[in-house]
Amino acid sequence: MKLTFEVISDDRFEGSKKELKEMTEKIDAALSKLEGITVQKGILRELRFPASENEPSHITYRRRYFVTKSACKPTWNDVYAAVNRVYSPKYEFQN
């Protein structure tokens, strides 16, 4: 079973590609301190949204993480705590 989550930075809220890279570096550092997990990252994606009647155009930057455990320790709560110190994403499990 894999835990997956996505880190997002959005220029509507003063986010940037640089901010996303900084967040992922901090998450990587926090997760690297936990033994017994494997972390995979998707590519950094840039999504451009055109202007609409109510909003100007904007860009979001995203990176998806996949975490698997090979032992009982650390717990999923340990993983959540490590990530949440940097960013609070929506978590999902995949088979």
pLDDT tens profile 24-83: 999 999 999 999 999 999 999 999 989 888 888 889 999 999 999 998 899 999 999 999
The pLDDT assigned to 93 comes to: 97
CA angle, 46 then 47 then 50, to 5°: 140
- Domain extent, residue 27, equals 2-94
Number of domains in the chain: 1
The pLDDT assigned to 12 comes to: 77
Name which residue leads in pLDDT, 45 or 11. 45
**Which token pair is 32?**
């690297």
The domain that holds 54 is classified in CATH as 3.30.70
